[in-house]
């Protein structure tokens, strides 16, 4: 099966940004709530981030898995342009999920360390 770039793919970056921002916000808000409730406790930021992932990890995983499955189901559509779009979207959402679980989490820990040292935004 050959994969082609069709004009429908031009919408895909906007869909991915929306999904990525949703996941990032979910994780960031969960960490912020944990920090607010545990101000009196001093814990390493890895622990706070781990607790945040425990609280929102299932939600993020199920949302991403559902999106991937829906787009893979859309790949069974009879129009080739829609098939290509759905396959590209499913792969992109999967890689977005992997990067959210690894890279974004690492950046979130670094930002928490920066906040603890009371440094300005921007490295």
Per-residue pLDDT of the chain (123 residues; tens, 9 = 90+): 677 888 888 999 999 999 989 888 888 888 777 777 666 565 555 666 677 777 788 888 999 999 999 999 999 999 988 999 999 999 999 999 999 888 988 888 888 788 778 888 765
- Hey, where are the domains in the chain? 7-115
Nearest to 79 by CA among 30, 21, 15, 8: 8
Positions of E strands within 62-120: none
pTM beyond 0.75: yes
């Amino acid at each position: 099966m050959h994969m082609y770039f069709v004009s429908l793919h031009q919408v895909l970056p906007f869909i991915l940004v929306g999904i990525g921002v949703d996941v990032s916000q979910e994780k960031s808000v969960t960490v912020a709530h944990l920090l607010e409730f545990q101000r009196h406790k001093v814990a390493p930021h890895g622990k706070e981030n781990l607790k945040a992932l425990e609280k929102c990890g299932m939600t993020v995983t199920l949302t991403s898995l559902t999106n991937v499955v829906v787009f893979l189901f859309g790949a069974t559509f009879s129009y080739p342009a829609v098939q290509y779009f759905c396959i590209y979207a499913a792969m992109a959402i999967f890689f977005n999920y992997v990067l959210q679980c690894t890279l974004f989490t690492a950046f979130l820990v670094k930002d928490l360390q920066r906040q603890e040292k009371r440094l300005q935004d921007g490295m």
